[in-house]
Structure 1
Amino acid sequence: MAQRVLVLGATGAMGQYLVPSLAKKGYQIDTVSLDDPPWTFPNVTHIKADAKNQAFFLELMSRNYDAMVDFMTYPTAQIATYLPLALKSVGQYVFLSSCRVYADVEHPVKESSPRLIDASDDPWLLASDDYCIYKARAENALRASGFGNWTIVRPATTFSHMRFQLVTLEAYLTVRRAREGKPVVVPIEAKDKHATLSWGGDVADMISGLVFNPKALGEDFNVCSSEHHTWGEIADYYHDICNLKAVWVPKEDYYQILGAHEFNPGLRWQLEYARLFQRISDNSKVLEATGLKQESFRTLYDGLKHEIQKFPEQFNWPEWTKPAYERMDNYLKDRKH
C-alpha cells in the first residue's frame, strides 16, 4: 500500500512544485489549500478548504498520515495547539520555518548559526510576534516536545510562479511595473548586500528528498540554493529579463512608500533584520541528506526568466496592492520635479 502524505498550503510558492515531485514518487497524497491546484495526478486528491479550521484540522489528523508537509504559518498563540496535534498524529511532520530566523553573525549561514531570537539586542523585536520570532519559537517547541518525528526546513527567499522578490517588493511592484514600463523604487542600503534567492522547484525537490528520509528526523535544514548575489546584481537581472528599472532611494523614503508606520513595524523588520543582512547560505547539509547537487539547480537568472515569462499577460491585481503602487508613482513624479 502506498505511503500517505498530507500537504497543507499546497498551492503556494513551494507547494505547487512539491506536490508533483511527491506524486511522481508514487505516494498517495491529500492536498489542502484555499485555491484550485495547477496539477492533475491520479494519486493526488485536493481539498479546497481552510487547513486551520479547527474541526477540519482535527478530522485531517484523525487520518494518521505517514507524513505531513506543513506550509501554514502559526503565530505564537497557535503553536501550542496545531503543532502537538500534528506530532501525535502523523509519522513524519515537516515544519516550514525560514532562513529569516538567522542573525547576521556567520557567513555563510549554517543550520547551527545564531538565530535572532537568541542573539538580537532589540527588545521590541524579541517581544513581538514577527515572522522571524514566531518561527523560531515553533522550532524551540518542536525540539523541546519529546517527539523525534519532526523535520524543520528553512527556505531562503523563494521565487516561484507569480512570486517575485526584489529586496522586500513582490510581484505587484516588480513584474507589474515592468509590464507597464514604470521604474521601481528600492532602498540604496540594500544594493551591496548579498541575498540567496532560490527557485521554488529546486526547494521543492529538497523538501521532497527529506520526506520519509531517516536522516531528516529530528533535524533542521537550509533548503535553498548556495548561489548568492547582491541586490544590485539581482536588480540588473530584472532589468535584463523584463526591462525593470530600479531607482535606488534612502530607506526612509522606501518605508513611506510601502506604508511602514509605528503600528506596522514588520515592514521595517523585514528589511532591517533580513534583506539588509548578508544572506549567503550553506546548503551542504540538505545536499548530503538527499543526494541532490547544487549544479543541477536552476541558476537565479534562468529561474527568474523562466517564471517571469510564464506570468499571465492579463492579471487582476488585488485592491490592497493599490496604495503602495500609487505612492510609488507619486514619489517618482515628485522626484522628477
Structure 2
Amino acid sequence: MNNQRLKILLLGGTGAMGIHLSKILNNQGEDVYVTTRRERKGVGITYIQGNAHETAFLSDILRKYHFDVLIDFMIYNTSEFADRVDLLLSSVGQYIFLSSSRVYADSETPITENSPRLLDVYKDEEYLKTDEYALSKARQEDILHRSGKNNWTVIRPYITYSEIRLQLGVLEKELWLYRALNGRTIVFSKDIAEKKYYAYIWV
C-alpha cells in the first residue's frame, strides 16, 4: 500500500469550501498549500501569499513546489483561463476545476451530469455574447475538453453555505445583510422570488 503524502495546492482556497477542504486534507495527512492575498497562518497548512491571478506568481509556485494535485476555486474570465490552462495541466499530476451547477439550463426533471447546459441550448444572442458566470464556467469546461490532456476533473457544486457565506438569492451576505439592516429593499428576479426557502438559526 502506498502511504506517500500528496502535495496539494488550493488556488483561491480561503473561501466557503476551501477553508474546510484544506483542513480535511490536512487531517488526512496530506501536504496542503493554499494561495491567499493576505497573510495567514495555520497549523499544518502552508499559506502562500500572492495574487493567483498573476501568471508570474502562479508559474513560480508551480515550478517551485511540484504539486501532485491542484484544486482550483478561482473565478476566471474565459480568456484568462484559456491563457493559463496549459500551465495548469502541464504542471501538476491532477487538476480539479470547480465549475458550478449554474451551467445547467432550466429543467423540469432532476438534473444529472448529462443535463443540457445553458451555453448549449439558450437562444438569447445578447446573453450568449456575454461572459456571465454560467457561460464562462461552461466555456472553461469546454477548454478543458479540447486541451488534449486527461489529467483534469470538473466538479459542479450547488449553492454553498458555511459560517462565512450565506447567500440570499444571488446576493452574498455582506450585501443583503447591509441592505436589510438599513431598511433598504432587496430585489430578486421573479424565479427566485417565487421559491420558498427555510432557514434554521441556532443560538
TM-score scaled by length of structure 2: 0.88
The aligned counterpart of 1:72 is 74
Q: Secondary structure in 1 aligned to 2:105?
A: coil
Unaligned 5+ runs, structure 2:
none
Matches within 5 A, 1:284-295: none
Q: Distance in 2 between matches of 1:176 and 1:36?
A: 27
Whether the aligned pair in 2 keeps the contact of 1:102 and 1:113 (CA below 8 Å) is yes
Judging by fraction of residues, say which structure has more helix: 1
Post-superposition offset of 1:176: 3.7
| 1:120 corresponding residue in structure 2 | 122
8 Å CA contact 1:101–1:117 kept in 2: the answer is yes
Query: What is the DSSP-based 3-state SS (H/G/I as helix, E as strand, rest coil) of the residue aligned with 2:90?
Result: helix
Matches within 5 A, 1:239-278: none
Unmatched 5+ stretches in structure 1? 194-229, 238-300, 310-337
Please tell me the residue identity of whatever aligns with 2:6. Q
Q: CA deviation at 1:96?
A: 1.1
Match of 2:186, SS state, is strand
2:34 aligned with 1:31, yes or no? yes
Question: For residue 194 of structure 2, what is the aligned residue in structure 1?
Answer: 192
Secondary structure (helix, strand or coil) at the match of 1:129 reads: coil
Determine the C-alpha separation between the residues in 2 that align with 1:52 and 1:110. 31
Letter in 2 for 1:115: R
The reply to whether residue 9 of structure 1 matches residue 12 of structure 2 is: yes
Q: Is the 8 Å Cα contact of residues 176 and 186 (structure 2) preserved in structure 1? A: no
**Is 1:168 equivalent to 2:170 in the alignment?**
yes
* Number of equivalent positions: 198
Residue 30 of structure 1 deviates from its aligned partner by 1.2
CA pair 61-126 structure 1, distance change in 2 beyond 3 A: same
Shift, 1:36, TM fit: 4.2
Match of 1:157 in 2: 159
Specify the code of the residue in structure 2 equivalent to 1:14. Answer: M
CA distance 1:112–1:183, change in 2 (3 Å): same
Q: CA RMSD in A?
A: 2.1
For 2:10 and 2:92, the matched residues in 1 are separated by 12
Q: Aligned-pair distance for 1:168?
A: 2.1
Mapped partners of 2:172, 2:185: distance in 1: 11
Helix, strand or coil for the counterpart of 2:32?
strand
* Partner residue of 1:89 out of 84, 91, 99: 91
- TM-score, length-normalised on structure 1? 0.54
Equivalences for residues 114-153 of structure 1 within 5 A: 114-153=116-155
Q: Indicate the percent of aligned positions where both proteins have the same amino acid.
A: 38
Q: C-alpha displacement at 1:188, in angstroms?
A: 7.1
Q: Deviations over 1:287-328 (max 9, x none)?
A: xxxxxxxxxxxxxx3xxx36xx6xxxxxxxxxxxxxxxxxxx
